[in-house]
Amino acid sequence: HVPTIAIVGRPNVGKSAIFNRMAGRRIAIVHDEPGVTRDRISAPCKITDHACKLMDTGGIGARLSDGFAEQVAAEADIAMKTADLILFVLDSRDHLTPIDQSIADHLRKSEVPVMLLLNKADHEKQDLNLGEFSGLGFNDYIFLSAAHGRGFSELASRLDSFL
Ligand code: GDP
Ligand code: MG
């Protein structure tokens, strides 16, 4: 069994950028327009010595007109059903949004372990909103910058203990 790691989160937090860094290739499209990745994309990846499968769930909230709450629920549920570990991505420079809260509400019911990735922490001295994120009810978190690569070796060693 190859462990599956799902990347979930609202549009524009950097899921695809994180996916590409972890996969070591540019597979998912990184885009300024929220919701550009409509499909779930997966790729093999290697974390320290472990082979695993990475899944980018870019469709969350992609199209408000399709019934937004349903989409959030559906994507989170797919991740909860298929993944061995869920990486829940948030924008560390932004405040929590109702979408973040809604995803968190779903993931809290999960038996799959959830790790928070507080992305866009590009600089060490950045003003980050850790207080808000710690209120979500998940214990594991890590600051990352998919743009600069900060935090990824730490992420790999943390994931290693799950795999
Ligand atoms: P997704 O919708 O969650 O898949 O987000 P994307 O990966 O497409 O990224 C959305 C936007 O955020 C793009 O403009 C990225 O270049 C930008 N972005 C992603 N990660 C980072 C980061 O670590 N730092 C900064 N400053 N921008 C980022
Ligand atoms: Mg995406």
Of 6, 3, 27, give the one whose Cα is nearest residue 103.
6
Q: Specify the pLDDT at position 68.
A: 67
Q: What is the DSSP string of the chain?
A: ---EEEEE-STTSSHHHHHHHHHTS--SPP-SSTT---SEEEEEEEETTEEEEEEEETTTTS-GGGTHHHHHHHHHHHHHHH-SEEEEEEETTS---HHHHHHHHHHTT-SS-EEEEEE---STT----HHHHHTTS--EEEE-BTTTTBTHHHHHHHHHTT-
16 is an annotated ligand-binding site residue: yes
Q: What is the pLDDT of residues 31-78, one digit of tens each?
A: 665 555 555 678 899 998 899 999 988 654 445 455 666 777 778 888
Q: What is the pLDDT of residues 104-160, one digit of tens each?
A: 999 999 899 999 999 999 998 776 778 889 899 999 999 999 999 999 999 999 999
91's tokens = 């924008």
Q: Specify the pLDDT at position 62.
A: 47
Q: Specify the pLDDT at position 67.
A: 65
- Here the ipTM equals 0.99
Ligand number, closest to the Cα atom of 100:
1
Around Cβ 53, how many Cβ atoms within 10 Å? 16
Q: 44 — phi, psi (to 5°)?
A: -70, 145
Cα separation, 6 vs 3, whole angstroms: 10
Residues with CB under 6 A from ligand 1: 9, 11-17, 30-32, 34, 37, 58, 119-120, 122, 145-147
* Contact in structure between 79 and 8 (CB atoms under 8 Å): yes
Q: 112 — phi, psi (to 5°)?
A: -80, 135
pTM for this one?
0.91
Cα 14 to averaged position of ligand 1 atoms, centre (Å):
4
